Structure 1
Amino acid sequence: MGNEGQISHTDGPRRPKAFSPLREHLRDTFWFAPMAGLVGAFLLWWAASSLDHEIIASLQREHAYTEVRELVSLTEDTKVIVTTISSAMLTFIGVVFSISLVALQMASGQRTPRVVRIFIRSRISKLTFTVFLATFLFSLLVLTSYESEPNPRQVTSVPVVQSLLTLMLVGLSLVLFVVYVSATLRLMQVGPVVDRITQETLRMLARQGTGAEGTGSEVPSAPETGRVAHEGRAGVVLDVHVARLVRVARRHGVVLRLIPRIGDFVLPGTPVLAVHGGTVPPRRALRYTVSVGRERTFHQDLGLGLRQLSDIALRALSPGVNDPTTALQCLDRIVQILAAVARRPLGTVHHRDRRGAVRLTQSIPDWTALVDLGLTEVRAAAVHSPQLTRRILAGIEDLLLLAPQGRQEPLLRHRTLLLQAIARAVPAAADRRFASSPDRQGIG
């Protein structure tokens, strides 16, 4: 990796996040929260129904039939409300679902299909659907608790608590609907979307740790003794279960090396892990340690944020859209992410056990790869837009101030290539000078 550093982790501090891959995978699904909400609604109804039974039984033991008669009269009035709620909630759910589809279609068409994941991971969207479905199911279950027997001495249950809980769920649904519409409208705007992508990337960097500069001697020197092939469907490497791999390597006295990078596409039968210094651990010990899926995620993928921002900028610069200001907003965030990693050690991540021995190594994009990912395609598409060329040059100047001396070469290369492209594409000398002047706002 040349002058790139190595990042070292130990499995001790990382143990609280041992199941973080599972948590991240569940966040990338839209079925888990609503299903959990339906189960919770059933349990809530069962508890409320038991409480209603206990209330009526207590009143009947005390021969308080007048109170029972009053409760029955009250619930007869609320039965109409609960019936209306149960029929209206299904329509309400359809409205929310339609809003979501429109928002997804607009985001996918105007930006990039990869930002759909932002909507899928949105907590407010999942919470809104969950509460709506839970309210619908709860109201249906409450209707089964109403009895037609008017005799207070023979009533076994009066759904008083259930009716109150139904009204509370309806009130919560209305509040969440207002919040959901507001959040969805924000996510349909460019600024909040690129900000969400940037924040996801910065959070991933924080989880990864700051690390420490290392030397080449830290790289495991034991010879490679075997490889572990990928079994299952072809797909993208989403993440690795670091804590489990470190434990397996420590238990078998080996060092494991992740061959593909996070985000690489792997085929069945291709190697994913190399073993150094011992025998290959059994296959059962390595199950569920390397996650492969259909689409890249932010969990451990350092380059995904830059990839998405670059895609949005390229879509904005296409002839059909022609929106350089959106591309400029993406450039602002690209520069922000590059500035965040300008002084971080990159290249190789070393995961250590409690004794400090390296047990797992994996490759991550180095500084040059990240700069190329963030600037290459946008730079090539922005030649005819002085707003963007001026912003790119200003961003490169800012990064040159932040990056150490050994990391300035790719930045200087991109600045030279951009100036050469401007010289070829812009015939007038005055226009060339204008397009070649750095400006953080592009053109005001």
Structure 2
Amino acid sequence: MESHHGDNRHVLAESGVWVVNAGTTSSPLASLQKSLWRFSAVTFLPANYPRSVSEDYAPYQICNILQNFCSKITGLLGTQSTFKTFGVGDATATAAAATITTVLQDGSGMLGQILFTYGFGSHMDEHIKVWRYSADVFFDAAIFLDILAPNLPRKYFVFTACCASVLRAICGVTAGSTKSSIYQHFALEENLGDIHAKEQSQSTLINLIAMIFGTLIIRMAHEDAAWIWGLFIFFSVLHLVFNYIGVRSVVFSNLTADRMQIVIKSYLSSKGAEMMTPSQVAPLESILTLPSIPVEMGISLEHLATQARLQAPNESSDAKLLAELAAAWEGKKYMAARTPSGVAVALHDGCEVKDCIEAFFCGLAWVQLELPDAVAARQYIQSHFEPFYQSLATKWDVDRKLYFNDNGWRSRWKLTKKD
């Protein structure tokens, strides 16, 4: 190895190949570029990116940034219309009237948020992609009402404004709850807080750019209704398209009813030859609508007896029906009964994750293979579930909590091993 300090060069010999490297001295421009890149990386990217996040982080965040830009533009259009609704520019408008309208709006939003959380809050984790996409649908619907309000008779102003506030509040609940679950999935190094912080930085920057761009657009529109509606439709469509692509790109490895249904149907159709991976399932998950799941998990014993009676109306009592079901599923931590729409499953309070997977597999196999009764369903499970589970465990995270269309009931009955 030969070194020349005077001209700042180093001559290196590796495997007989001579390489001349320039010194470490860099130009001011290059130093500035490095400093800007370092600042951007520290401010906008999670620490140790990309190894600290999952592979689907980048495509999701790119779409998230683009949809944030579009939503900010439509939000500015809605704000302009809201000011008109409150009477900005109208000599007859009063501060008291605007205050009352604001109070009614905020109150409606708060009440709507509470009622929505009561009805749907427990189902967010089960259908993350559906609710994440729905959040932006609610947002665009709220902006639509904001823009529509000034064009309605004055007596409808308050009602329309309150409806928009409710939709905006529901958007906040669904977006906030599902976003947390999605970012938890991205975090590979227990860096959820870092990912959240960097997402906020990204959103702040893109919102600042969108505010400048949106202000220019609003000035060009000159409150022309055709322009405003055209811009709203254009950016709302882009908003929903980017959000759809982003949500679709997320690849979860935990199991939900929707993912399990896709996996089990493929497995049964291939007669056990194919076990779909998370990346194969992701493009098939429901986003626009809640999936139809024929297996109802975690019902009460009373409800199970009611469902079983629909298939055996001549039985004398619910107790006899439950005794027959207990005998059919002896030794199992679940009992299943055929219903007109699928299969209902009662779960024992000692059931574990694997038992829930088995019960769900049993229900879907019973429906898809059109097995005649509980005895046939149990016989099928006895010979086919264990190979399915072993294959499933190689591709999916089977140890995490399952979200299986669960009604939450757990019951107790005597568990006796079947001979």
Q: Normalization by structure 1: what TM-score?
A: 0.28
